[in-house]
Structure 1
Amino acid sequence: MTDSDKPTPNRGEMREAAVHVIVTVGFGLAALLVAWASDDGLRTALVVVAPIVVLIGALGALFRTYRNWRAGGRWQIWQGASWFLLAIFIVFLFSTGPVLVG
């Protein structure tokens, strides 16, 4: 196998997945920071919204995984982003749970 026969990683796809993860987590953290600085009604709404934002980002990454898999592309990159965002979703969910219950 020569160097030209080896598959090259799609750097654009990796960059898109990384930007997707960073933006999703950034929006989730921004919602939590604004909730921390807000009053009761808005605080409760934003604490509920923060994990939902991360979940929507994870579902979007799963959709990209499926699309790339069907197209025969590098779906593993997006699957890794999906798993990471799902783990972050669980962290957000359990960190905001006490605020909602208490």
Structure 2
Amino acid sequence: MTEDVEKRWSDGATFRRAARYAGVVIGAALTVMVVTVVWAAAGETDECTGAQTMVCSTAGRYILAFVPTGILLLGGLGAFVRAYRAWRTGGTWPIWHGTGWALLVFMLIYLGISARVFAST
């Protein structure tokens, strides 16, 4: 029989690592989003004058919708892997578990917001 790991949230070092990890993942997703919007605004053509969104090229729309979403998804899955590894070694896994769920929630929110890009096509 195995013993369950105590569900501790008081490990400061693990919390800081998880928070830093989430910050890097969210920062990477936001960086891709901002770079895509700036790239699309700089390459604006005459066909974009009547568009309702700033990103009117098809490639820009797909990048804006799916690349940050993919970054957040992979970040959430990576946090779950870290939670599993911490659980296997008897460490503080609930912090990583919570980080994974938070990143997946951010992914769903961003995907819902970015779906507007395709509504105006």
- What TM-score results when the alignment is normalised by the length of structure 2? 0.71
- Greater RCO (Cα-Cα under 8 Å, separation 6 or more): 2
Identity %, equivalent residues: 30
Higher helix proportion (structure 1 or 2):
1
Distance 1:53 1:8 in 2: 26
In structure 1, the residue corresponding to 2:91 is in which secondary structure?
coil
Over aligned residue pairs, what C-alpha RMSD do you find? 1.9
Structure 2 spans left out of the alignment, 5+ residues = 1-7, 41-56
In structure 1, the residue corresponding to 2:10 is in which secondary structure?
coil
Q: Report the Cα offset of residue 9 of structure 1.
A: 3.2
**Which runs of at least 4 in structure 1 moved beyond 6 Å after TM superposition?**
none
Structure 1 spans left out of the alignment, 5+ residues = 1-6
Query: Which residue matches 1:29?
Result: 30
In structure 2, the residue corresponding to 1:9 is in which secondary structure?
coil
Distance 1:42 1:36 in 2: 12
Distance 1:95 1:16 in 2: 28
Distance 1:57 1:11 in 2: 21
Query: Which residue matches 2:63?
Result: 46
